[in-house]
Structure 1
Amino acid sequence: MKVAMVIPPYRYGADPRHWITVPPQGYGGIQWVVATLMDGLLEAGSEILLLGAPGSPVQGGVTVSAAVEAADIHVAIKAFDPDVVHDHSNAAALPPGEVGPTVSTHHLNGVPERQANGIYVSRAQRTAAGSASAPVIRLPVNPSRYHFREAKDDNLLFLGRVSAHKGVREAAAFARAVGLPLTVAGPAWEKDYLDALLADFPHTVSYIGEVGGSVRAELIARARAQMVLSQPSGGPFGGRWIEPGATVVSEAAASGTPVIASDNGCLPEIVPGVGRVLPVGREITPRDAERVLRTLPTAQAVREAAVHRWGHDTIARQYLAVYERAISGEVWT
């Protein structure tokens, strides 16, 4: 199958010639999702045109387009003549226009711009968008991209945007309660939030900035647990934050690293079996924190669960089935 894969084009660093690639150089949730999905589609024999990520590594079966403007993306898609277009940009890079059968994965909160033939990454996200029957396909993980380790270091890890809605302070409070250091890795665009975090948890939090590649994979693999204490407030777009898909959950589990998560959004759907879920707003005592750590599943158990539930080949097959529905002319909301 020929698939045109559209992602939102984002600049990387200060040089205007550089873009966040697939896979990303550092932070980039959508880019990681697309990279992993492409792994599965390529193994299934698909041919892919990647748009919105100039400079991405070239691999067999993938053509990387230089197009980043909507008009140029339309031209490139028509020249490629795909069987289906898969939009990951919430219509930002692919506004309405005739480009053939199209499906759209929603990666954010709220109601998507393109609702026809939408795909959601969790039931919580789908419900918040007002849909009852659109497909839910989980975020994929390719275990070969991660390092599996049974032996863990005595530290906790937060990996992601350093922001209130991602629950970094809550992760630091848990780490302090249990007496373990917390490594925080990710972009910190809200300086006041980071400064307050470091001031309030000086002996607990170590901030190392954005990481990518093998450094990132090794950090995930070595951690005692991955902290995903997402919060319902403080989101980037205002209103209630509902954690949509949580890429870090599958990445951690594929590395044999259990997850400690809140019950916000998708997390109660995906974390059982690979970690523990804690209620938002619950104050964690040292005794509570120790019990949570003691009852986490083993590295082998979470790895097996990740591959079974979210393996890139499994998720690719689910997408191929949805592509066939769109190609046949079916329309859903």
Structure 2
Amino acid sequence: MNITLVCGSLLPALRYGGTERVVWALGKELHRMGHRITFLAAPGSRCDFARVVPLDPAQPVERQLPADTELVHFHTHYAGPIAKPHLVTVHGNLPPAGATADCVFVSRNHAQRFGCEAYVWNGLDWEGDYAAPDLSLARRGYHFLGKAAWRVKNLRGAIRLSGRLGERLDVLGGYRLNLKMGLRLTLTPRVRFHGMVDNAAKKRLIERSKGLLFPVRWHEPFGLAVPESLWYGAPIFATPYGSLPELVTPDVGFLGTDAAELAERMAAADFPPARCHEYARETFGSQTMARSYLAYYEQVLRGERLNAAPPRAAAAIETLPWED
């Protein structure tokens, strides 16, 4: 099948790039399965296993599609209508304008919050894009992974939580001085900021961490920080919002909204790194993701709806409870 994946960002992702990592892994896995892949992506994108066409956001997408495209998979704002069979993956908490019933979400909870049913968990190319961790290393302190500038990611809560345990916190995805969303300066010396890190830095830091602190205060659509941390053997200590009860089983972490209770449980926690690593490998691989999407592709090609109705209007993004 000739499949065009539409992504408005630069490929491949070199540092953060959550959605871009997923799109890249999907394209690579579909290529391995024998499909012909085109990335319609930001100018400057490059790829050695797929055709790349620069995306011009000022032009209709349909005019930019290769003539041999049989199915279009959007991972960016839907720019329809288009005549070719297509579907849209919604990665965030706002659906694309004009979205039809042919939408796929990134967790069961994510789909249900929009009145839909179709979802595929994000997957990553573990062997191709991520180095195998050293699971025998001593682990000290905890880590936070995500866009620290977003208040709903609750870096402050992670800092308070690590402080209850008297532990160091490594922040991957933020800076000590942040001017992007109002002046924020973190003075706590036991908190170390590493900025937007690449895969090598993630490996070095997370494979030495006792766990991911992820006390988000919104309904997390998926949260790539979860599988990435598990891959490197780190369990998850998070809030029970959005997809997190689906992703975090009792074998690899626990959830709560009260920092004191979480800290008490963390102090007694024993999650073997090998167990966390194997769970990530078995559950969040790109092959599983690609097979799930192929099933939806077949439905679209048969003219079947993926959901009973288009996504309903999203509720306002609220700040959910967290007790420091």
Q: d(CA) in 2 for partners of 1:58 and 1:158? A: 31
Partner of 1:143: 126
Identify the match of residue 207 of structure 1 among 173, 180, 193.
193
TM-score (ref. length: structure 1): 0.83
Give yes or no for the alignment of 1:176 onto 2:150: no
Give yes or no for the alignment of 1:102 onto 2:91: no
1:91-147, CA deviations, whole angstroms, 9 ceiling, x for partnerless residues?
Answer: 1xxx1122411111111114443132111111221121122x3x2210102222223
Bigger helix fraction: 1
Q: Pick closer, same or farther for the CA change 1:70–1:165 going to 2, 3 Å.
A: same
**CA drift at 1:194:** 8.3
Instruction: For structure 2, list consecutive stretches of 5 or more residues without a partner in the other structure.
Output: 308-324
Identify the match of residue 224 of structure 2 among 236, 247, 253.
247
Identify the match of residue 185 of structure 1 among 165, 172, 175.
172
Partner of 2:74: 87
Q: d(CA) in 2 for partners of 1:81 and 1:3? A: 9
Identify the match of residue 55 of structure 2 among 67, 88, 108.
67
SS state of the match for residue 76, structure 2?
coil
Residue 142 of structure 1 aligns to which amino acid in structure 2?
Answer: D
Q: Pick closer, same or farther for the CA change 1:294–1:2 going to 2, 3 Å.
A: farther
Indicate if the aligned counterparts of 2:45 and 2:54 stay in contact, CA closer than 8 A.
no
Q: d(CA) in 1 for partners of 2:227 and 2:138? A: 17
Partner of 2:297: 323
Give yes or no for the alignment of 1:54 onto 2:37: no
Q: d(CA) in 1 for partners of 2:119 and 2:267? A: 31
Partner of 1:22: 11
> Identity of paired residues, percent?
27
Residue 115 of structure 1 aligns to which amino acid in structure 2?
Answer: T
Indicate if the aligned counterparts of 2:174 and 2:194 stay in contact, CA closer than 8 A.
no
Instruction: For structure 1, list consecutive stretches of 5 or more residues without a partner in the other structure.
Output: 10-20, 233-241
Q: Pick closer, same or farther for the CA change 1:197–1:260 going to 2, 3 Å.
A: farther
Q: Pick closer, same or farther for the CA change 1:323–1:192 going to 2, 3 Å.
A: closer
Identify the match of residue 130 of structure 1 among 97, 115, 118.
115
**CA drift at 1:80:** 4.0
Q: d(CA) in 1 for partners of 2:215 and 2:268? A: 18
Indicate if the aligned counterparts of 1:143 and 1:255 stay in contact, CA closer than 8 A.
no
Indicate if the aligned counterparts of 2:299 and 2:306 stay in contact, CA closer than 8 A.
no
Q: d(CA) in 1 for partners of 2:213 and 2:256? A: 14
Q: d(CA) in 1 for partners of 2:122 and 2:157? A: 24
Indicate if the aligned counterparts of 2:296 and 2:306 stay in contact, CA closer than 8 A.
no
Q: d(CA) in 1 for partners of 2:13 and 2:251? A: 25
1:196-234, CA deviations, whole angstroms, 9 ceiling, x for partnerless residues?
Answer: 4613xx1331112111242233333332212221113xx
Indicate if the aligned counterparts of 2:3 and 2:70 stay in contact, CA closer than 8 A.
yes
Q: d(CA) in 2 for partners of 1:194 and 1:303? A: 37
Give yes or no for the alignment of 1:218 onto 2:194: no
Q: Pick closer, same or farther for the CA change 1:154–1:123 going to 2, 3 Å.
A: same
TM-score (ref. length: structure 2): 0.85
Indicate if the aligned counterparts of 1:43 and 1:313 stay in contact, CA closer than 8 A.
no
Q: d(CA) in 2 for partners of 1:246 and 1:96? A: 28
Aligned residues: 301
SS state of the match for residue 170, structure 2?
strand
